[in-house]
Amino acid sequence: MAISALLYSLEGMMCLAVSLKLLGTAWKNRNIIAENFVRLFFFLALAFLSWGIPSLLFPQNSFLLNLFNMIGQSFIFIGFAFGIRSFIIVRFGNILLNFASFGTILMGGLVVYFTAGVFGSVVLNKYGVIEWNLHPAALAIFLSDIIIVSASLAFEFFHNAVKSSEIRRRSIYLGIGTIFSGLGGGFVITPAEWQWLLAGHYLLFLGMALLCITFFFIPKSKT
């Protein structure tokens, strides 16, 4: 059983569910922040499904695994671009919006470029864990973007928890889920032993599950 592929696929379905959940709010209120989160979770879903489904259906096909690895990288950096847009809008308005989006997508393009240069390096090991074996430059860029996006969004969630009692509990859970997701997501792409990679996958899954549960079941309420 490709354990990491199964977890990626489940995370993809959770992100898709969150995106659809937030779509109603974004459509009803014409809220630009909600719209960015709809796109963030939608492209996260596409990325996770790109990494998960091929390995579940064709675990022995190295070509598909490596091809969809690059496709997933493209999707996740588009998602990161929308995630960072939400932070920029809140903190800086529209001044740096396009610059931040372009920079994030450019970094994603570099990651895909470096990954293409070592095409075939991604493997599904005998324990069912995907080993990315990224190019060192791609790894540095990827980790940097994960840290920037997750830290920025977690900061805003915790800031909202301090600022408003109405959304405090929900914001705290979202902040914790974002931190878990960022830590787990960063860890699974590192060149670590498979046991640590699997621990990273579990942490990523826990973070995404907490985000999904919070968006669906934790209402905005006073504490």
The DSSP bridge partners found for residue 123 are 131
The arithmetic mean of pLDDT across residues 35-53, rounded, is 96
Percent with pLDDT over 70 in the chain = 98
Element (H, E) at 191: none
Residues contacting residue 103 through CB under 8 Å, at least 6 positions apart: none
Judged by average pLDDT, the poorest of 10-14, 17-21, 161-165 is 161-165
Nearest to 52 by CA among 38, 33, 37, 65: 65
Beta strands in the chain (DSSP E): 123-124, 130-131
Residue 96, helix vs strand vs coil:
coil
CA-angle at 142, arms to 141 and 147, nearest 5°: 100
* Type of residue found at 167: I
The DSSP bridge partners found for residue 131 are 123
Residue 221: per-residue pLDDT: 61
Q: Can you tell me the distance from the alpha carbon of 118 to that of 66, in angstroms, rounded to the nearest whole number?
A: 10
Judged by average pLDDT, the poorest of 7-11, 30-34, 72-76, 94-98 is 94-98
User: In the structure, what pLDDT confidence band is assigned to residue 213 with cuts at 50, 70 and 90?
Assistant: very high
Judged by average pLDDT, the poorest of 38-47, 83-92, 182-191 is 83-92
Residue 223: per-residue pLDDT: 42
Q: Retrieve residue 134's tokens.
A: 């990224």
pLDDT digits (tens, 9 = 90+) for 112-127: 999 999 999 999 999 9
Residue 97: per-residue pLDDT: 80
How many CB atoms lie under 10 A from the CB of residue 129? Answer: 22
Nearest to 83 by CA among 41, 44, 43, 40: 40
| More reliable by pLDDT, 33 or 189 | 189
